[in-house]
A and B are shown apart, each in its own frame.
Chain A
Amino acid sequence: RKEVEQDPGPFNVPEGATVAFNCTYSNSASQSFFWYRQDCRKEPKLLMSVYSSGNEDGRFTAQLNRASQYISLLIRDSKLSDSATYLCVVAGASGGYNKLIFGAGTRLAVHP
């Protein structure tokens, strides 16, 4: 079983739609959680950290459910520029706090 599992998609949505991505992780000792964004043939970039209390950054909302070992990302009012692969990332369990464990990513395509 993979340590971090994501629905690969692709999610094809029109501009303005709301889309939600889910992610599960297997190691309950994980301590840190993130969403990264990776554009085609580019490097990953940190989108946001995820906290137990949930957090919001503009159109993006992230939630963490430690009991269910589940992380989510909600994107409201999708823009064409949101088209990318979204990577769910956990850290802090096996191997130390700075060893990032990446999911395989969920691809989002926003169309006009």
Chain B
Amino acid sequence: EAGVTQSPTHLIKTRGQQATLRCSPISGHTSVYWYQQALGLGLQFLLWYDEGEERNRGNFPPRFSGRQFPNYSSELNVNALELEDSALYLCASSLAITGRLTDTQYFGPGTRLTVL
């Protein structure tokens, strides 16, 4: 069974540009999560989508946005890129299990975004 996939693997942009990152969840998973892992920092929660709706958002400015498509894949858009946006962006997916409080999240390999 295929895991979470992300594209592109690497992305290089310049300040002020926009970046679009893509994620395909494990087949059957309806929730998608985005996390940012900047160098030397821990993973920071960005966004959570479930059944096409944004369920939760981390402490990031509005220029970080995304969406989830009917096939449950997702896009993360970062507008007006800043140097400090350089990081590994990880996508995770999960399947809601009845009776479980927190669903197990399975991570993709990430997209490494470099802003010059």
Contact across chains for B43 and A95 when beta carbons are under 8 A apart: no
Number of A-B contacts (CB under 8 A): 62
Contact across chains for A92 and B105 when beta carbons are under 8 A apart: no
B8 touches A (CB below 8 Å): no
Q: List 26 A-B contacts (CB under 8 A).
A: A4-B42, A31-B102, A32-B102, A42-B109, A43-B108, A44-B90, A44-B107, A45-B107, A46-B106, A91-B101, A91-B102, A92-B102, A95-B45, A95-B56, A96-B55, A96-B56, A97-B101, A97-B103, A98-B31, A98-B105, A99-B48, A100-B45, A100-B105, A102-B42, A102-B43, A103-B42
List B residues at the A interface (Cβ < 8 Å).
31, 33, 35, 41-45, 48, 55-56, 58, 90, 94, 101-110
List A residues at the B interface (Cβ < 8 Å).
4, 31-32, 34, 42-46, 87, 91-92, 95-105
